[in-house]
Structure 1
Amino acid sequence: MPLLEGINYGGEKTAVIFDIGAVYTKCGFAGETGPRCIIPSTVKGPKKGQEVNICRSTDEKELYDLLKSFFNKLYFRHLLVNPKERRVVVVESVFCPTVFRDTLAKVLFEHYQVPSVLFAPNHLVALFTLGIPSALVIDVGQKETQVLPVFEGVLLLKAWQALPVAGEAIEKNLEAQLLEGCNVKTAQSTDKPLSSLMVRCCFVTKLSRAKQMQAVAQGTGDTGQELTPPPGIDYPLDGSTVLHIAGKIRETACEVLFERDAEETSVATLLLEAIMKSPVDARKTLAENIIVIGGTSMLLGFKARLVEELRDLREKPRYKERLFVDAFKFHSPPGKENYVAWLGGAVFGALEVLASRSVTQEMYRADPVLPDWCTLHETEELDEKASLHKKMAATR
């Protein structure tokens, strides 16, 4: 049973909150301070023993079967609740593929027969954890980094910025460096080449050191000055197999986030571009209310480096003459970055307004087209269609 069951209205049972990520899925109950479980977004596929990521399926029929199996595991193994008795809040990206969104709704309404579903944008619900109406939210996840301003509760979609650089890019960069210069030692004391490794021992270095390393790599720095690398570590793989990771690799693996590409874009420039595309009177507020979410942002030193990058870029001609922002201030949400969006959904799921903003079972049967978060008139139209559907059913 949820710990805070009593905060709901009308005697309803606590809503269930799902946040399906590209790598991990968070699930739990509304009103709680953290998800009940964080599990990989995978399920056994048609082939025996094969684990399939539900977010990577593009075939609608296959996706339906995968989601059906995945939610069976969530409901009956981890949450232990009857899906027919609880409303659902799905925390999603604003740019979630339509086929995934529609198929998920079909699974929840038709197979599990949930009472209602609310699809809530992760950038918006992150603000609920702090009780503020405006913020610049940066989501550094697995596939990409997205920046979206929220001003007075409204998503400024025209200022949206994204870059396909996040956790996956770090893993590829780390893997390339490890494969190039690292071997593993086994119990027989023989060195074997490495095939892959998870990111667990890397960190984001300071901007000053990053500039020095870049100058040395380009041959423009002081050749007589050597940078002392951080200490290497021994990473146990499986029992007696140990990988030694050089300190230089630990320090440089995450630089892919801040290296500017051919278009001079990086994770830091996304924030500045999003601010400049926002209304002038909202820029100061957004710069002083920055929220960082996403699992990749939990890397040691990430926030400190991001602040340094923003301050450094602010002095560049492109931004100095147009930005007019004195300071950048970051919020500290009451939870880890990887589940802040889920926590915002849990806060919203405990509110009385949840019922009026959700798509109910009757509304979905009347018209399976899902309305957007802020499209109130579409929700009203669905209410009318659902009411008409009930009257027609009663006269049959």
Structure 2
Amino acid sequence: MSQPGSASRSQRRSASSLSASSARFDAFALGVSGADNRQPVVIEIGTKLTKVGYAGEFVPRAIVRTELIDGSPTPSHLFDSDMSAEEQYRTLVKFLKQIFFRNLLTVAKDRRTVIVESVLEPTDRRHMLARALFEALDAPSILFAPSHLLATFPFAASNALVLDVGYKVLTVAKDRRTVIVESVLEPTDRRHMLARALFEALDAPSILFAPSHLLATFPFAASNALVLDVGYKEAVVIPVLEGVTVLNNWEVSSVGAKRLEQRVCELLHKFGKVVKVDGSERELNEEDDVLLEKNGILEDIVVRFCFATKMDRGLQIQAAGYNLECDIPTPPCGVRLPLGDEMLIVPGVVREWTAEVMFEFNDDEKSIPQLILDSVFRSPIDVRRTLLDSLILVGGPTAMKGFYARLKSELQRLVKFDCYASKLGSISSVKFFRLPNTSIELYASWIGGSMFGSLDVLQYRSLSREDWLNRKIVPDWTDKITEVNAARSR
């Protein structure tokens, strides 16, 4: 359900937050970027996809895969753990150069940079990113902004619970400030590698690393929200209260798009068939798994054909143990997809049963509804109802057909369980921030980075190239905590 934001729109900020103020809409509409009339570059690097564009725009200019194709037979993934730190850095520099020179046609050193990041972004990735931007690309400054907060900006929402599951331009990196949208879980070495690539290889003038959960609140103008970001490898829930990410109430689970693809593969091996050239059918084998992964067929099945079924059907399917021989609802029709020279038969049970992995109640690996309720359960008593009425969903899996309705039903059912009833049992209302006729779940955090990048304050929040060259360190929210504790101990 769409809802207006709070009337209070002051530009409050802390060391780890960006205010969801109405002033950002004025700046967003006018394209303000301070004394520098060149709009900053906004970058959000995800596990599978990277979104790039300019501040003040409503959609990314380009959405590309987070991998480098550089003459090798197989693409190189950014931050591949099998590569050394220096190899990761060189790959990152080449990737950023492709973004600035091919997608944006600009140089980094003349542009401010805003990086939309998760509040859980590892510090080492942050430093690697800063190193790449400052040392390789000569970026003048960087702003790291939290994605969950920025996701509320389009909805003008002061209170929300955010769940976080192109074109071409003529410019170069050194002509633009850069905004990097990052996860709060992003490793520090990746952050430093990115900064090094942008500053030293692309001459970016400045970079802002922004937490993706915080930025996700910006498009909704929400000062208070519960942001759920369902990414490729994990789902992260972080409350945003009065423009501040409440990190001690965050929840994380490995239930993401990768788990959906794994479930599709499991169900295909159990129920799927392959039609050979002669018309006969056979079971799937290990060679088929290679084709499914290489050609992106698993991802294609999840995005195009899978859906979240109604709660009553889902509970019946789970109770039956995903067994066709039990009394379960009649599945939908299947589909056929090319698999090399053969045809892959995707049964209806694969389409309907795949999404159940996100709703299976589990004490060891929490489901999406459990993540949300656990986060709200540990939140202050006066904001629990507000958070469940202010949900913001981010990430590709949240755009699955039927996901919103199923999640609402599951939350209303689980809130009555003994483990939640003591504090949440009286809450029955569940509402979401949404923009009609859009796919904002896919790039809400990027839009938040675009909005923040259009404000005058960007240049004061960013890390400049000079600072990077002097210290070679990208500060983050943990550094601020250390500084505050040190000051108190004096």
- Whether the aligned pair in 1 keeps the contact of 2:238 and 2:245 (CA below 8 Å) is yes
1:50 & 1:230 partners in 2: Cα distance? 36
2:329 maps to a residue whose letter is L
Structure 1 SS opposite 2:466: helix
- Whether the aligned pair in 1 keeps the contact of 2:38 and 2:176 (CA below 8 Å) is yes
Counterpart in the other structure of 1:236? 338
One of 50, 63, 73 as aligned partner of 1:38: 63
Structure 1 or 2: more helix by fraction: 1
Distance 1:11 1:263, change over 3 A: closer
Per-residue deviation, 1:186: 4.5
Structure 1 SS opposite 2:226: strand
Per-residue deviation, 1:14: 0.8
The answer to whether structure 1 residue 80 and structure 2 residue 71 are counterparts is no
Counterpart in the other structure of 2:19? none
Deviations 1:6-30 (Å, cap 9, x if unpaired)?
Answer: 5333243111111100001111111
The answer to whether structure 1 residue 341 and structure 2 residue 431 are counterparts is no
- Whether the aligned pair in 2 keeps the contact of 1:22 and 1:55 (CA below 8 Å) is no
Spell out the pairing of 1:75-114 with structure 2 (5 A cutoff). Answer: 75-81=100-106, 82-114=172-204
Q: Give TM-score, length-normalised by structure 2.
A: 0.71
- Whether the aligned pair in 2 keeps the contact of 1:34 and 1:335 (CA below 8 Å) is no
Structure 1 SS opposite 2:372: helix
The answer to whether structure 1 residue 16 and structure 2 residue 41 are counterparts is yes
Moved more, 88-97 or 47-56: 47-56
1:291 maps to a residue whose letter is I
Structure 2 SS opposite 1:321: helix
- Whether the aligned pair in 2 keeps the contact of 1:121 and 1:373 (CA below 8 Å) is no
Moved more, 320-329 or 94-103: 320-329
1:130 maps to a residue whose letter is F
The answer to whether structure 1 residue 362 and structure 2 residue 466 are counterparts is yes
2:216 & 2:347 partners in 1: Cα distance? 37
Distance 1:213 1:378, change over 3 A: closer
- Whether the aligned pair in 2 keeps the contact of 1:5 and 1:14 (CA below 8 Å) is no
Structure 2 SS opposite 1:85: coil
Structure 1 SS opposite 2:79: helix
Structure 1 SS opposite 2:306: coil
Per-residue deviation, 1:237: 4.1
Distance 1:52 1:190, change over 3 A: farther
1:375 & 1:355 partners in 2: Cα distance? 20
The answer to whether structure 1 residue 254 and structure 2 residue 385 are counterparts is no
One of 64, 85, 96 as aligned partner of 2:89: 64
Counterpart in the other structure of 1:115? 205
Per-residue deviation, 1:214: 2.2
Counterpart in the other structure of 1:371? 475
Distance 1:137 1:130, change over 3 A: same
- Whether the aligned pair in 1 keeps the contact of 2:377 and 2:384 (CA below 8 Å) is yes
1:54 maps to a residue whose letter is L
Deviations 1:133-173 (Å, cap 9, x if unpaired)?
Answer: 11000001110010000000111001000001111011011
1:350 & 1:291 partners in 2: Cα distance? 23
1:210 maps to a residue whose letter is G
Structure 2 SS opposite 1:149: strand
Distance 1:5 1:52, change over 3 A: farther
Per-residue deviation, 1:216: 2.7
Spell out the pairing of 1:208-223 with structure 2 (5 A cutoff). Answer: 208-217=312-321
Spell out the pairing of 1:287-366 with structure 2 (5 A cutoff). Answer: 287-323=388-424, 324-333=426-435, 335-366=439-470
Deviations 1:45-82 (Å, cap 9, x if unpaired)?
Answer: 6x832211103346210111110110111111111112
Per-residue deviation, 1:258: 1.1
2:78 maps to a residue whose letter is I
Per-residue deviation, 1:218: 8.4
TM-align CA RMSD: 2.6
2:77 maps to a residue whose letter is N
1:62 maps to a residue whose letter is E
Gaps of 5+ in 1: 380-396
- Whether the aligned pair in 2 keeps the contact of 1:93 and 1:123 (CA below 8 Å) is yes
2:268 maps to a residue whose letter is L
1:159 & 1:298 partners in 2: Cα distance? 25
Larger Rg: 1
Per-residue deviation, 1:201: 1.1
Per-residue deviation, 1:326: 3.7
Counterpart in the other structure of 1:274? 375
The answer to whether structure 1 residue 165 and structure 2 residue 255 are counterparts is yes
Per-residue deviation, 1:111: 1.2
Gaps of 5+ in 2: 1-27, 107-171, 484-490
1:42 & 1:252 partners in 2: Cα distance? 30
1:89 maps to a residue whose letter is V
Q: Give TM-score, length-normalised by structure 1.
A: 0.88
Counterpart in the other structure of 1:55? 79
Q: How many aligned residue pairs are there?
A: 374
Per-residue deviation, 1:4: 8.1
- Whether the aligned pair in 2 keeps the contact of 1:84 and 1:112 (CA below 8 Å) is yes
Counterpart in the other structure of 1:393? none
1:191 & 1:139 partners in 2: Cα distance? 40
